[in-house]
Chains A and B, each alone.
Chain A
Amino acid sequence: MSDAPAQLKVLVLVKYVPDAQFDRHLTGESPRLDRSDSILSELDEYAVEAALQLIEAHGGAKAGHEVTVLTMGPAAASNAVKKSLQMGATRGVHLNDDALAGSDAAATSLALAEAIRHEGGFDLVFTGMSSTDGETSLVPSQLAERLGLPQVTLVSEVSLDGGDIVARRDGDTETQYVRAPLPALVSVTDQFEEPRYPNFKGIIGAKKKKTTPLSLAELGLGADQVGAAGSWTEVASSEARPARTAGTVITDQGDAGVKLADFLADRKLL
């Protein structure tokens, strides 16, 4: 086991996603998601929180440790970076290019991997457990594969032990305690501690923090390698699922348990 790096460089991937509290829609002929009413993915806030706690445990920004946040998305996605900076991240990177629209996990992970290489030198890459729009959970593992990193995914606790990352993963049948050498990729679940709210100092401080814009050309990627054109999957068709409607609502008069049994028997569910 080696020692922890003197100055930790942590990257967190954050995605700007449609707010799930509102109705979300697919639009257009090759169905795309309507991205108005978007926010920093709630699940990526856990990744930001975990990264901040990790550097804070080792002296924080004062000790020279850094948390960079990277988003790939349209102009408005800078809001996801901004909120992360308000929470306490050090700097932001925003990859924005029209050609990126419609990227599937393979194309997204390609663009993000090149952006991470371009920025360079990270000890740890943190991601959320899943995006709240695509919901595939593919990007973290695909990034690890493309970057040749060990993956420590779906963790609820994470810390450094010397030069290794150690973490707790909760599965269905067992809890695993895992270890990986740096550099490594870590995805964080919502079982981690609740993400902090930006406080006044954080909001003021974020105004002075830098966000670097990135384009595809700077990454040496062509428009045909990403977006819908560079994706390895395509949505052939989509159909809105008929909304569920309310059935019968009864109020218990002391016999609702029996009525429940009647209902199940009627529907042949007993």
Chain B
Amino acid sequence: MSTTLVYLDARSLSAEGPGKAERELLTIAAGRSAGSVVVAVSAPVEDDVAASLGRFGATTVLVPASDVSAQLAAGPAAFAAAAAAESGADLVLLTNAGDSKEVAARLGIKLGAGVVTDVVAVDGGDFTKSVLAGAYTTRVRAKTAVAIATVKANSVEPAAPGDGTAEVRRIEAPEAGPTATVERTEAKPASGRPELADARVVVSGGRGVEGDFGPVEQLADALGAAVGASRAATDAGWIEHSYQVGQTGKTVSPQLYIAVGISGAVQHKAGMQTAQTIVAVNSDPDAPIFEIADLGIVGDLTEILPQAAEEIKRRKA
């Protein structure tokens, strides 16, 4: 019987339940290892958090003696390795967030396990991922006894909560070795909109918005969408860098992606061309973004977006 270990960053959990990407991992693990889903969390958990993990499918929750979340990858990896040994897992699943990938990387060396990132489907020992900015779909395997996969958000439909409960167990983790420490943090204001990485609809603005994200936000709110941006817009300081979509920003695969005032550079397309439906609004009929858009609209975004937002609100009302 194969055992799957799910490693979760404690910061992604709450009494209401884990985040969407985390619930997807629990769903994959439950499908693969019927009856036993072991979860390793990077910090001791409150009872209500453990209870919510149980409802979403965890049967065992392994925690360290103290919070290791902030010991940049080294601490979490040392703990995750102890959890992998304790559970006897042959597959370890993590989210595809930057911090998780780093834990996966170090864990791979500790366990002598092959690591596959950016996974969109787990099928037995085969992991599906797209490479070269979406140009190819590949099936990758680990040749090692244990496999590690970091899974992108929106890969599976997360299961609804049930009435399961999880047993919490504390385990000893070995010394992490020299680690960097976080001295100070500055919180970023929350937008109140859906998370870019796992949103079903994304409206992104580029240089064409000329400093004013108002029309983009208006359309996004009418659609209940997340807001994204091109690097030109984030570099200009019109919007925070964490909203950037593309090679060096977020890779998104929503049902609908609306690119507004974005020309369609390769680096931008790398982050959005696996969207199911693409709409582009651009005043330049020769903009490359139109080559990949299901609907292209040539025109001025400051006129088109407010009209679309009003019309959508009217129809939804």
Contacts and interface: CB of A to CB of B under 8 A. Distances in A.
B155 interface: no
A84 interface: no
Interface stretch (A52-60, A90-98, A103-111, A208-216): A103-111
8 contacts: A20-B133, A138-B105, A141-B106, A234-B140, A241-B136, A246-B293, A250-B297, A265-B315
A181 B178 CA distance: 8
Contacts of B138: 26, 31, 235-239
Contacts, number: 272
Given A234-B143, A235-B138, A269-B277, A258 B180 contact: no
A236 B101 CA distance: 22
B77 to A, nearest CB: 7
Contacts of A220: none
A251 B106 CA distance: 52
B244 to A, nearest CB: 9
Interface of B: 72-74, 77, 97-99, 101-102, 104-106, 108-110, 112-118, 126, 130-144, 177-188, 190, 201, 223, 241-242, 247-248, 255-256, 266-267, 270, 273, 277-279, 281, 285, 290-300, 303-312, 315-316
Interface of B is mostly: mixed
B247 A132 contact: yes
Given A132-B247, A251-B298, 13 more contacts: A136-B118, A141-B101, A154-B98, A171-B242, A234-B141, A239-B136, A241-B130, A241-B135, A254-B303, A260-B295, A261-B315, A265-B315, A270-B316
A130 B279 CA distance: 29
A24 B132 contact: yes
A172 B117 contact: no
A141 B135 contact: no
B111 to A, nearest CB: 10
Interface of A is mostly: mixed
The interface centre, meaning the residue of A129, A149, A269 with most chain B CB atoms within 10 A of its CB, is A269
Contacts of B142: 232-233
Contacts of B178: 148-150, 180-181, 184
Contacts of B188: 172-175
A197 interface: no
A260 B180 contact: no
B109 A142 contact: yes
A121 B41 CA distance: 36
Contacts of A137: 98, 101-102, 105, 117
Nearest to A113: B109
Contacts of A240: 135-136
A1 interface: no
A231 interface: yes
Interface string A174-195: 1111111100100001110000
A139 B115 CA distance: 11
A104 B116 CA distance: 10
